């Protein structure tokens, strides 16, 4: 397991699921959580420790979370994986999709192949580009999609036609496309979820999570189809939008631009770039292309040109909106570490207020305020 302790729930939740299934996790590589005080950190550690103790007293096994002060936990994961390989043992790592990419990229930089390593990736869109990076070092990944963190909607297909193809858990819930949202030329059909099984902690009836995707039905031949899960799902995305200068932009089509086009042209990997909607010191809503400082010198003006070109693709409305935002100075570029959520995952697109970004950076050890952005 590579995830944070409480108050982030995914790590302990997944470990409890595995313990209930009789699967004992061997290691828990824990990401540090940004907290407001040492007292808060102590509280969350004691609660996590209490949960682990209760599980062990019940006869199941949960690993104690391991922290690495030097921030080199990803290298430790790679070394652990290679040690398992030498003993001819396979290993499975559950983590956010972007963290799986970081592990694969670290293995590549160390000259290590992760043959036989399986990632269970959660928490964010699993794109074809992420998949290629993981498979380039001999590993593989299978996605899992949860609704609100606790409702397991689907598990990855063993013979996928798409990187994030899933089998919907039709024996536990009903998932249907809801009424369309968006403009007439760019409609999306949000998922509506209804829980059917009494084991769920709460009842959902046609609840939307702000996400949509593509439903399919095909004969894939994997074990999940053989037990009757024939409804497939792929390209799960959020239908939320950027908003500035009184205009809206549906940003789903920008995932490939941020995760693939920018790294291919300017270097780096997914997670080194991010588009953030944020509020600056004057209260203006800006769209900032955040670029990781470790990439070194890049042509920032050219990167902003690529950003505006990506926004203008697809329709007349997109081109009009882009022109308005260019005139208003909405687009800018800033060199800093992209914003990471509590689980450490870096989403390509992020909606957050400027002060929140600055405070989170400082909480993660970036003491200085971001340098002045390059305006486009």
Show the 3-state SS of 21-57. Answer: CCCCCCCEECCCCCCCCHHHHHHHHHHHHHHHHHHHH
Domain termination site, one of 204, 222, 239 = 239
Q: Is residue 362 located within the same domain as residue 315?
A: yes
Measured CA angle at 220 (ends 218, 224), to 5 deg: 105
Same domain, 296 and 365: yes
Q: What is the pLDDT of residue 244?
A: 54
What separation in angstroms does the CA of 77 have from each of 23, 141, 301, 364? 19, 16, 38, 21
Task: Indicate whether 284 and 343 sit together in one domain.
Answer: yes
Helix (H, G, I), strand (E, B) or coil at 97: helix
Residues 225 and 258 in one domain: no
Are 298 and 335 within 8 A, CB to CB? no
Residue 259 lies in a domain: yes
Q: What is the pLDDT of residues 208-234, one digit of tens each?
A: 877 888 999 999 999 999 999 999 999
| Residue 156 pLDDT | 95
Domain that holds residue 216: 164-239
Report pLDDT for 33. Answer: 65
Q: What is the mean pLDDT of the chain?
A: 82
Residue 186 and residue 255 in one domain: no
Whether the pLDDT of residue 46 is over 90: the answer is yes
Query: Is the residue at 87 inside a domain?
Result: no
What predicted TM-score, i.e. pTM, was given to this entire model? 0.70
In angstroms, the CA 206 to CA 214 distance is 18
Question: pLDDT (tens digit, 9 = 90+) per residue, 116-143?
Answer: 899 999 877 788 888 988 999 999 999 9
The DSSP call for residue 240 is -
Residue 198 lies in a domain: yes
**Residue 194 and residue 309 in one domain:** no
* 185 within a domain of the structure (yes/no): yes
Task: State mean pLDDT over 276-296.
Answer: 79
- Of the residues 239, 262, 277, which one is the last residue of a structural domain? 239
Is residue 206 domain-shared with residue 245, that is, in the same domain? no
Domain end residue (candidates: 239, 264, 283): 239
Residue 101 confidence (pLDDT): 87
Q: Which segments of 97-218 are extended strands (E)?
A: 118-122, 140-147, 151-156, 166-168, 173-177, 181-183, 186-188, 191-195, 207-208, 211-217
CA distance 264 to 129: 11
Indicate whether 229 and 334 sit together in one domain.
Answer: no
Q: If you average pLDDT over residues 32-53, what whole number do you get?
A: 83
Q: How many domains does the chain have?
A: 2
Instruction: Answer yes or no: is 337 within a domain.
Output: yes
Answer yes or no: is 42 within a domain. no
Residues 218, 231: one domain? Answer: yes
Query: Is it the case that residue 269 has pLDDT exceeding 70?
Result: yes
Q: Are residues 233 and 255 in the same domain?
A: no
Are 351 and 253 in the same domain?
yes
| Same-domain pairing of 354 and 282 | yes
Cα–Cα dist 53/61, whole Å: 9
């Amino acid at each position: 397991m590579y995830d944070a302790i409480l108050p982030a729930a995914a790590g302990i939740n997944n470990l409890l699921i595995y313990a209930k299934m009789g699967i004992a996790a061997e290691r828990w590589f824990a990401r540090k959580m940004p907290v407001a005080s040492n007292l808060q950190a102590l509280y969350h550690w004691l609660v996590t420790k209490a949960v682990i103790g209760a599980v062990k007293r019940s006869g199941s096994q949960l690993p104690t979370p391991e922290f690495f002060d030097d921030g080199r936990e990803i290298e430790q994961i790679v070394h652990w994986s290679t040690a398992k390989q030498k003993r001819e043992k396979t290993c499975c790592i559950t983590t956010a999709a972007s963290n799986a990419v970081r592990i694969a990229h670290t293995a590549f930089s160390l000259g290590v192949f992760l043959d036989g390593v399986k990632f269970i990736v959660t928490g964010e869109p699993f794109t074809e580009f992420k998949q290629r990076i993981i498979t380039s070092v001999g590993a593989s990944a299978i996605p899992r999609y949860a609704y609100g963190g606790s409702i397991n909607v689907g598990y990855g297909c063993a013979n996928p036609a798409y990187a994030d193809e899933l089998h919907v858990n039709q024996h536990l819930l009903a998932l249907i496309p809801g009424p369309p949202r968006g403009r007439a030329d760019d409609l999306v059909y949000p998922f509506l979820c209804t829980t059917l099984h009494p084991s769920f902690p709460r009842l959902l009836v046609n609840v939307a999570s702000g996400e949509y995707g593509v439903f399919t039905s095909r004969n894939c031949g994997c074990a999940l189809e053989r037990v009757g899960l024939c409804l497939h799902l792929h390209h799960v995305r959020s239908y939320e939008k950027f908003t500035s200068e009184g205009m809206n932009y549906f940003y789903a089509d920008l995932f490939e631009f941020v995760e693939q086009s920018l790294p291919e042209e300017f270097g780096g990997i997914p997670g080194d770039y991010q588009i953030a909607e944020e509020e600056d010191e004057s209260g203006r809503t800006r769209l900032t292309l955040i670029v990781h400082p470790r990439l070194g010198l890049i042509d920032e003006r050219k990167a902003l040109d690529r950003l505006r070109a990506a926004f203008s693709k697809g329709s007349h409305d997109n081109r009009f909106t882009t022109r308005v935002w260019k005139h208003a100075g909405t687009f800018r570029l800033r060199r800093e570490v992209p914003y990471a959520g509590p689980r450490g995952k870096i989403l390509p697109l992020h909606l957050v207020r400027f002060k929140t970004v600055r405070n989170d950076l400082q909480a993660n050890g970036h003491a200085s305020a971001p340098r002045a952005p390059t305006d486009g």
